[in-house]
Structure 1
Amino acid sequence: MKIVGKSIRRVDGLAKVTGQARYPQDFYLEGMLYAKALRSRYSHALIKKINVSRARELEGVRAVLTAQDVPGRNLFGHMIADQPVLCQDKVRFRGDAVAVVAAESEEIAQEALSFIQVDYDPLPVVSDPRQALKPDAPRVHEKGNILTHYKIRKGDVEKAFQEAHLVIESNYRTPCVEHAYLQPESGIAYVEDTGDLVIIVATQCVYIDRHQIARSLGLPEEKVKVVLAETGGAFGGREDISVQILIGLLALKTGRPVKMTYSREESILSTAKRHPAYMRYKSGVDREGRLLAWEAEIIADTGAYASSGAAVVQNMAMYASGPYKVDNVKIDAYAVYTNNTFAGAMRAFGCPQVTFASEMQMNKLAAALGMDEYEFRRRNAMVGKSEFATGYLADVDNCQIVCLDEVVRLSNWKEKRYRQNKEAGKDRFYGIGIAAGFKNVGYGSGYVDSSSAEVELMPGKVRLKISAVDQGQGVETILCQIAAEELAISMENVEYTNPDTSVTPNAGSSSASRQTFNSGNAVRLACLDLKKNLQQLLDSRKWKRPPGYPGHTSYNWSNILQEFLSMEGETEGMASVIGRATYVPPPTTPLDPETGEGIPAYSFGFGAQVAEVVVDKRTGQVDLKKVYAAHDVGRAINPLQVEGQIEGGVVMGQGYALMEEIILKEGETLTPDLATFDIPTSLDVCDIESAILEVPDRHGPYGARGVGEMTTISTAPAIAAAVHDAVGVWIDELPVTAEKVVRALKEKEFQGKDVREETLPEKTLQEKDFQDQALREDKGIAHAPRRTTSHENWVIFKGDLNV
C-alpha cells in the first residue's frame, strides 16, 4: 500500500487553519433577512391564542409566521416525525418554536419576538421518566408516554440466578448531556430563478435533511437543494433538523435570502441531548467467575419528542450485557416521553450509558470474587464465533482479547493495580481502573445501510463525488486516500466534491461510525467501475497506447491514468469515463419484538481503556492523570486521524465521567450555557496514550472498520473503577463529582453506626432525587430495587439463591 495506511495530511486542513473554510455563519447574500424563533415559556401548555399583529407592524419586519403558514406537514423528526415545525395547539418543552420572524437585522427580529402575544393554558409537567410511566402521569403525547419498549430474552435467567454462586444487583444513573460542538446551528436559504429552494447548512446528511424540508414545505424533493457548509462538529447533534425548515419557509414567503443562527443558549435549550438513563442491573456468575445470567431494566428519558430515541434505546438493549458471553439474558429497555428537552443521537448512540452500568457490574463481580478485573473480563470476553444476546452468531475474531491484552501491557496494569502503597500525598490516593466496550458499525436491525459514490476521470484530475459529510472526523481525506490507492495515483490528483443533493450521490449519514466502512467501500467499487469503463473505452478506440500498455487483457493502470491526467483540455471520450457504485453491506434483520432475536449489525468495533486517577479523600476531588486506550480499527487508513479520534473520544468520555450534566427541573434548563454546563478545557485534558490495533474486517475497505464512537464508551467506567481502587467507594451515578465522592466516603465511615441523616454531607438535587426514587415502592413498570444496607448499593448472595 502506497497511500492507505499512511498519515496523509488532511485535504481540508489548510483551508480550516487559514480561515478560508466557510461555515454557515460566513455566508452573506445581497438582500438577506435575519430570522429568529419565539420559543415556549412553558414546559407543557395548551396554546389558546397567538397574536402576531403588533410584531408585523414593527418597522423592518418582513414576515411573522405561525403554524398555519406551514404549507406541508407541520411535523418533522429524524426517524419518527412527531415534532411540530411551529406549535399550533400545544407546547411540550421550553424549546418548542411557536412563531418565526424575518427582519432586516437580527436586532429587529429579536425585538419583534417581544411583540408576539401567546396565550397559554399551563398543563402539569412530567420531568422524571420513571414518574412518566405511571398510569396517572400527565400525557406528553396522546398515545401515551412510552415511545418504545425493547425486550431481549435468551435462555432461562431465573434458573441461572438460582444456580449462581454469586449475584450482584445495582442501580445506576447517567446524565443528560449537551453535544457542545464549537459551531452553533446556522444556515441560509434562498430561492433560485428556477424556483428551486436552496438550503446551505451544517448537517450530518444532506439527503435526510432534504426529505424532511420538502415534506414540511410541501415541495417535491427535486425542488429542494441542500448544500453542505463546513461543519464545526456534530457528534450526532446535527442529525436532527434545527434551522433548515424555518429558513426555507421564510425564504419562500418573502422571496429573499434568509439566514438564521442560534445563540449558544438557544442551541442548548432547543436541540437534542444524550439520553439520561436510570438502570437496574443484576448479574450472576459461577465459582470459576464465568457469567451465567444478566438482567437489566433501562428507563431512558427521550424528552418531548422521539428524534432517534427508539433506535438509541434499541442499542441500549442490544449492548446492555457488554462484549461478553452470557447464555441467559433478560433486558427491558424503555424510551419514555417527558417534558424535558428531547434526546436523540450522540456519539456512541446509547452505548455509553449501558457500558457504564455493565462495566461497573463487571468490576464489582471481580472484586467480590477476588479476581483481577482484567482476567475476569478476559475469561468472559466474546471470541471467535460468539452468540450475542440477540442470538446472533457472529465471528468477532479475537478483537476484544487483543484490546484487553494491549491496554494492560501499555498501562503496566499488573504492577500498578497491585501496588501496596497507593498514597500520592497527604489525603491523596492513587487508583487505576479498567473497562472494555463494543458497538455496532453502521445501521442494522433490518435497515439497508447503503452508500453511493461516483468517480469521474478528467484531464488533470479525478473528481470524487459522494455526499459523505466531514464533521471534523476526516472522512474527506480517508475517501480521497482510498480513491488514490485504488487508482494508483497521487492524492494531489483527487478532488473531493462538496456534498450537494443536486450533484453528489447519497452516502447516508455521517453517523454510526459508518462512513469509512460504507462510503469507503462505495468509493473503492466506483474506482473499479471506472477502470472497467476505461478499459472498454481503450478497447473500442484506436488510441495511442501509453508506455507500459501490454495488450487488451491487462493494463498498467498507473501509466494509463497518469497519461490521461497529464492531458490538457477536453479529450474525446474523456467526459464519459465515469465510475459509479452503490455499496450495500451484509444484511441484518429486525429484532423480534418479544425475544429480541435478530442480526443487529454487520460489523462491530471493540476497545478497552485503563484510567489512572488521584483522589483527594478530604475534598473528594478526582484528578484524572492518564488514560490508556487500545482500539481495534480493522485497518487504519490514516493512523494520525485514528489517533485523533481516540484522543477526542477519550476527552468526551472524561467530560461525561467527571463534570458534564444538563440539569433540568420541571423541564426548565438550569445549565443554559457553557458557563454553567462544564466541559473539559485544554487545561483539564489528561495525558492519553493510544494503541491502534488492526484485526482486519472481512467486509471493510482494505479491512477497515469505524472507530469514532467506540473511543468514548469505556472511559467513564474506567475512571469510576479507578476512583474505587483509590478510595474504596463505588460511585454509581455520573458525573463522578467531588460531592458524590465525599458523601460516599462519609457513608462508608458511618456505615453500621446510628447516625442522623444531617450528619452526612448535603446531597445534591440530582443525587437526592435519584436515591429517593430508587428506593421508593413503585407499582408501575419501573420496579423498585431490593433495599440494601450497603452504601455501595450492591448485594452479594452466595450458594443457592431464591429470587
Structure 2
Amino acid sequence: HLTIETDCGFGYFDEEGRLTLQTKSICVYRHQLMIARGLGLPPSKIRVIQNNMGATFGYKVGPTNEHLIGACVIATGRPVYMRLDMKEHIIRTPKRSPFLMKIRVGADENGKLVGLEHYWYVDHGPYSESSQDLTNKGGQFMLAPYKVNNIRGCGYTVFTNHKWCTAFRCYGGPQTYFGGELAIDMLAEKVGMDPLDFREKNLIQPGDTLPSGQRPEVYPLQAMITHIRPFYEEAKKQAAALSTDKIKHGVGVAIGIYNSNDDGPDEANSHIELTKDGVILYNTWEDHGQGADMGCVGTAHEALRPLGLRPDQIKLVCNDTAKAPNSGAAAASRSQVMVGMAIVDSCRKLLDAMRKPDGTYRTYDEMIAEGIPTYYEGYYKATLRNVNGEVQHCTGMDDETGQGYPFANHMFGVFLAEVSVDVTTGEAKVDRMTLACDVGKINNYAVVEGQLYGGIAQGIGFALKENFEDVKKHNNLLACGFPYIKDIPDNIRLIHMESPREFGPFGASGTGEVPLSAPHAAIINAIHNACGIRLKTIPATPDRILKALEEAKK
C-alpha cells in the first residue's frame, strides 16, 4: 500500500453540529458505522466526506485515522488536522495478509486435471476486519481458470501479533494465484507439456463452473490464449536466441480471474437531478486513484445519450454522507458494475419522466411548468444467471461447502512475462509484459489502460522487490522495495477482449483488480524458465535467486 500521499485528514463540527471528517475514506457510509460506537455518537451525528487524493489501493477500507481525528475534535471542540510522515504511514497503516499455502494437484496421462487438494492459512494480524471474505478467496479462486471436478480444501484465518491487515487490490487474489499458477507450471513440467498448452487443455469451457459452484457470466479465456499465443511463441524464440552463459532469458505465463462485486447480495444507490444546465449525479463512488469521476460521467453520458448532453453538463455531488446516497465501498472492483447500474437506473427513470408522447424530451422548464419531478433515485442489486439459466440475486457462500453464487460479474487476465536473469549477480529484470484481458465493454480506454498499467507495475514490485516483515527495517520506500522507474519496462502490451456482460452497464464489468491477480506468478514462472530455479516465496531478490542457483548445482 505504498501510496505517495501519506495518511491524512481533518475534522470539525459542521453548521448542523455533526462531527465531520474529511479523509481518504473509500467507504464513507461504512466508516460512519464503524467508528460511531467507539466515539459515543449515533451514525447520524457523524458526517464523512472523501478527499479523493493520493490513492489508497484498498487500505482505506479500514478506518485508519477517522476515529482518532474524531476523538480529538470531540475532546478539543476545535478543528483538527492529522498527517503522518512516510515512516509513520508505512508502520501504522494496514497491509496485505500473507498466505501459507499447501497445494497438491494431479493430472492423468493425457494432461487433464483430475483433482486438487489445498489448505491455506491467512495471517490476518490482530483484527478480524473482513477476514471471512478474504479467507473465502482461497476457495473461490484456487485454480479457478481450470476445470477441476474434484476439489478438497480448507482455509484458516489465523490471528497473530504481526501487522494489522486489510484489503489490498485484488484482495486474496495475488496470494491464491501465486500458489495455484506455480503449481500448474510444476505439473505441466511433470507431464512433459508446454505451460501454455497445458493451461489451454484444461481451461473451463462454456457450462463449466468455478470452484464456488457457479458459472461465470462469460467464457473468454480460450479466445484470450489464442490472441496471446503468437506473442508467446515469439517470446520463446527470442529468449532462446538471447540467452548467454551470464544472462539467461525466460518466458512465463499465468491466468487470473477476479470478481466485480462484493460477495453476496451487493447493492448500490445513485440519484440524479435535472437542472437548467444539465444534470447532477449523487452517489458514493469513492475515488482512490482509479478515475471514479470519469466512471460516473462516462456511464451517465451513455445512459443520457438521447438528451445530447456534453460531459461537462454532468455535475457530480459525491462521497459525502450528508448529500449523497449510499453506493457502497469503492472495493471489490464493484463500482463500475454496481454504482454504474444504479446510475443507469436513475437515468432511465429521468428519461421516462422527460419523454413526451411523440418520443421527444421535455426541457427543464417544461418539466417545472408541468409539475413533473426532476429528481430520481436509482438502485441496483447484484444480479446473475444461475446454473439453471434463471435470473437471481447473488448469494453468499456456504462456509462448510464453499458453494454459492457470490459474484455477478468477473474479470479475466492472461499474463505473459519475459524476463532476464543475471546468474552471476542474481538480479532478475522484467523486459516485457503482455496482458490479454477481458473487463467487458469499455467506456473509457484511457481510464481502463491506466488501471492495467498500474496493476502490472505493482505485480512487478510484488515479484522482484517489495517486502514488509520487520517494522524496524521496512519503514521507508527504499527499504520496502518500492520499484524504481527502471524496474518497470516500457514494453507493456495490452490486448483488449470485450465480451459484453448481461448484467453490467452497457456490457461493462470491473477493471481495477485483474491486472494484479497473477502478473507476479507469470514473472516467477519466467525466472524458472530462464534458469531452472523454482522460487515459492516472493520477492525474488538477488540473494534468494543466488541461493536457489547454488542449491540447484548440488
**TM-score class, shorter:** over 0.9
Name the stretch that deviates more: 309-318 or 605-614.
309-318
2:251 to 404, 407, 432: 432
Task: Kindly state the Cα deviation for residue 734 of structure 1 after the two structures are TM-superposed.
Answer: 0.7
1:444-482, Cα deviation, whole Å (9 max, x unpaired): 2x3x21110111000112111111111111121122112
Does residue 654 in structure 1 map to residue 474 in structure 2? no
Aligned runs of 1:89-128 on 2, under 5 Å?
none
SS at match of 2:208: strand
Task: Kindly state the Cα deviation for residue 344 of structure 1 after the two structures are TM-superposed.
Answer: 1.3
Residues 1:244 and 1:740: Cα distance change in structure 2 (over 3 Å): same
Aligned runs of 1:15-54 on 2, under 5 Å?
none
Task: Kindly state the Cα deviation for residue 375 of structure 1 after the two structures are TM-superposed.
Answer: 1.5
Aligned runs of 1:654-803 on 2, under 5 Å?
654-664=460-470, 668-686=471-489, 687-750=491-554
Residue ranges of structure 1 left out of the alignment (5+ in a row):
1-178, 536-551, 751-803
1:249-307, Cα deviation, whole Å (9 max, x unpaired): 11122111011111222222122111111111101001111110111111121111122
1:795 corresponds to which residue?
none
Distance 1:395 1:678 in 2: 36
2:189 partner amino acid: A
The answer on whether the counterparts of 1:659 and 1:735 sit within 8 Å (CA) in structure 2 is: yes
Distance 2:532 2:371 in 1: 70
2:175 to 336, 353, 356: 353
Does residue 205 in structure 1 map to residue 27 in structure 2? yes
1:600 corresponds to which residue?
406
Aligned runs of 1:226-625 on 2, under 5 Å?
226-392=48-214, 394-409=215-230, 412-417=231-236, 421-425=240-244, 427-444=246-263, 446=264, 448-488=265-305, 489-535=309-355, 552-557=356-361, 560=362, 563-564=363-364, 572=369, 576-586=373-383, 587-625=393-431
Residues 1:573 and 1:245: Cα distance change in structure 2 (over 3 Å): farther
State the TM-score, normalized to the length of structure 2.
0.94
1:492-528, Cα deviation, whole Å (9 max, x unpaired): 2101113210101111000101101111101011001
SS at match of 2:480: coil
Distance 2:241 2:127 in 1: 48
SS at match of 1:634: coil
SS at match of 1:495: strand
Task: Kindly state the Cα deviation for residue 669 of structure 1 after the two structures are TM-superposed.
Answer: 4.3
Residues 1:611 and 1:703: Cα distance change in structure 2 (over 3 Å): same
2:483 partner amino acid: P
Instruction: State the identity %.
Output: 29
SS at match of 1:508: coil
Task: Kindly state the Cα deviation for residue 729 of structure 1 after the two structures are TM-superposed.
Answer: 1.3
Residues 1:619 and 1:197: Cα distance change in structure 2 (over 3 Å): same
1:645 partner amino acid: Q
The answer on whether the counterparts of 1:457 and 1:575 sit within 8 Å (CA) in structure 2 is: no
Distance 1:332 1:324 in 2: 19
The answer on whether the counterparts of 2:59 and 2:166 sit within 8 Å (CA) in structure 1 is: yes
Name the stretch that deviates more: 329-338 or 381-390.
381-390
The answer on whether the counterparts of 1:299 and 1:333 sit within 8 Å (CA) in structure 2 is: yes
Distance 1:497 1:320 in 2: 40
Q: How many residues align?
A: 541
Task: Kindly state the Cα deviation for residue 368 of structure 1 after the two structures are TM-superposed.
Answer: 1.6
The answer on whether the counterparts of 2:11 and 2:70 sit within 8 Å (CA) in structure 1 is: yes
The answer on whether the counterparts of 1:203 and 1:231 sit within 8 Å (CA) in structure 2 is: no
Distance 1:414 1:366 in 2: 17
2:389 corresponds to which residue?
none
1:99-149, Cα deviation, whole Å (9 max, x unpaired): xxxxxxxxxxxxxxxxxxxxxxxxxxxxxxxxxxxxxxxxxxxxxxxxxxx
1:534-570, Cα deviation, whole Å (9 max, x unpaired): 34xxxxxxxxxxxxxxxx534234xx4xx54xx79x9
Distance 1:589 1:487 in 2: 31
Residue ranges of structure 2 left out of the alignment (5+ in a row):
384-392
2:379 partner amino acid: T
The answer on whether the counterparts of 1:607 and 1:630 sit within 8 Å (CA) in structure 2 is: yes
Distance 2:418 2:123 in 1: 31
Larger radius of gyration: 1
2:386 corresponds to which residue?
none
2:280 partner amino acid: R
2:536 partner amino acid: D
2:387 corresponds to which residue?
none
Task: Kindly state the Cα deviation for residue 533 of structure 1 after the two structures are TM-superposed.
Answer: 2.5
Distance 1:487 1:589 in 2: 31
SS at match of 1:576: coil
2:228 partner amino acid: V
The answer on whether the counterparts of 1:441 and 1:514 sit within 8 Å (CA) in structure 2 is: yes
State the TM-score, normalized to the length of structure 1.
0.65
SS at match of 1:404: helix
Distance 2:269 2:134 in 1: 25
